[in-house]
Amino acid sequence: MKKRWLQWLRLTTLLAGAALLLSACGRADLSALNPQGAVAKEQLDLMKLSIAIMMLVVVVVFTITIYVLFRFRRRPGNDGIPVQVEGSHKLEIVWTVIPLILLVILGVPTVQTVFAQAQDHSKDENAVVVKVTAHQYWWEFEYPEEGIVTAQELVVPMNSRIVIEAKTADVLHSFWIPALAGKIDTNPAGNVNRMFFDTPDKTGIFLGKCAELCGPSHALMDFKVKVVDDASYANWIAAMKAPAVLPEDPAIAEAFQKKCLSCHAVGELGGPVFPNLTGIGDRETVAGILVNTDNPQYWNEGSVYENIYRWLEDPQGIKPGNLMPKVELTQEELEGIARYLADYKLNYESEELKNNDATSDKEERQ
């Protein structure tokens, strides 16, 4: 019996130590504990309040338990029955009223916050409305007021209210930007869920994830939220509306139109089936998971050209189960289309944004 007890003690200690170590793992840009927007900060405040109440309850209960164990333990020679407190009205009132008070302290701000964050701001004059459609395994962003459709990178102005209207094109997904807002599901059968968040008063890039298991590449269904200054946002809208520019090489242009634009779009050309590629050379990632950087350190990092080349060469190897088939391209076509897309940049960033290192990928590579 003693050996079994020691085994359980060792196992519990090991698991507790492992949990403590693993709690330090993670990314700063994928944490609800590092809020960068008003909505996320309100949600963190509720988390802090609930944790504080739980800690208070745990400390009080353990303190009373330990006190009772020592104070009222059976002593040698004392074989009598302790004084019974069953039916004590004072004790019953105390342990009924205290939980009610704690529930009120937690419940009132929770109800206030939940109802406040459930309001529909789609009619607000200054709100930016974005229709989000989840696909396996990528995100589509439509700006109905601007007539713009893009993918994988949600560009929004700083210090603004963003209204999200989320739906799915296939299975259940969950739209989540940990640093800016909570999660919202995208349900099948045409259901549209709404939420809003406020962007911070500074520029920056924030990681978004699918938070609902949706298939083999669920963990790779990332997107970016790029908060830019007003001038950059206006430039981006104008650049997205500009006519498409095709490859200069006629052979590459023909291959791109025949083999890519049947599903993808650039500018006013192409189809809406798969992600819009307009300005893909400016994006932080390719396919949401291949990080564009000139200083690669991990398997999913490389230059824009390298990442696009890798994706075109073997999309299933990057994101297993995605719906893009391997396109039959000659080596010349593969290199030419990858180079064309890598150079397809909108160059919308203002001088202020270009000089702001908050939009670098430094945080991601930690």
pLDDT tens digit string along 238-249? 999 999 999 999
Would you say residue 364 has pLDDT above 60?
A: no
Whole-angstrom distance, CA of residue 168 vs CA of residue 133:
5
Would you say residue 81 has pLDDT above 50?
A: yes
Domains of the chain: 32-63+91-118 (no CATH), 128-229 (2.60.40.420), 250-355 (2.60.40.420)
The pLDDT of residue 361: 40
The pLDDT of residue 161: 95
Query: Tens digits of per-residue pLDDT, 194-215?
Result: 999 999 999 999 999 999 999 9
The pLDDT of residue 10: 80
The pLDDT of residue 359: 40
The residues that bridge with 132 in the sheet, in sequence order, are 141, 166
Whole-angstrom distance, CA of residue 118 vs CA of residue 26:
29
Would you say residue 26 has pLDDT above 80?
A: no
Q: What is the mean pLDDT of residues 121-146?
A: 94
CA-to-CA separations, 358 to 29, 218, 232, 298, 364, in angstroms, rounded? 12, 28, 15, 21, 11
Whole-angstrom distance, CA of residue 281 vs CA of residue 295:
17
Residue closest to 130 by CA, chosen among 64, 81, 175: 175
**Residues sharing a CB contact under 8 Å with residue 280, sequence separation 6 or more, in sequence order:** 286, 304, 308, 341, 342, 344
Query: Tens digits of per-residue pLDDT, 249-277?
Result: 999 999 999 999 999 999 999 988 899 99
How crowded is residue 28: how many other Cβ atoms within 10 Å of its Cβ?
12
Whole-angstrom distance, CA of residue 180 vs CA of residue 19:
26
Q: What are phi and psi of 270, to 5 degrees?
A: 100, -170
Q: What is the mean pLDDT of residues 146-173?
A: 96
How crowded is residue 170: how many other Cβ atoms within 10 Å of its Cβ?
15
High-pLDDT (> 70) share of the chain, %: 94
The pLDDT of residue 24: 65
Strands of the 161-168 sheet, one edge to the other: 148-151, 138-143, 128-135, 161-168, 193-198
Would you say residue 350 has pLDDT above 70?
A: yes
Mean pLDDT of the chain: 89
The pLDDT of residue 22: 72
The pLDDT of residue 67: 93
Query: Tens digits of per-residue pLDDT, 263-315?
Result: 999 999 998 889 999 999 999 999 999 999 999 999 999 999 999 999 999 99
Q: What is the mean pLDDT of residues 184-202?
A: 93
Would you say residue 131 has pLDDT above 80?
A: yes
Would residue 311 be called left, alpha or beta, if left means φ above 0 and alpha means ψ between -120 and 50 degrees? alpha
The pLDDT of residue 365: 40
Would you say residue 331 has pLDDT above 80?
A: yes
Residue closest to 147 by CA, chosen among 241, 50, 244, 263: 241
Would you say residue 100 has pLDDT above 50?
A: yes
Nearest 5°: CA angle at 341, between 338 and 345? Answer: 145
**Residues sharing a CB contact under 8 Å with residue 24, sequence separation 6 or more, in sequence order:** none
The pLDDT of residue 276: 96
**Residues sharing a CB contact under 8 Å with residue 90, sequence separation 6 or more, in sequence order:** none
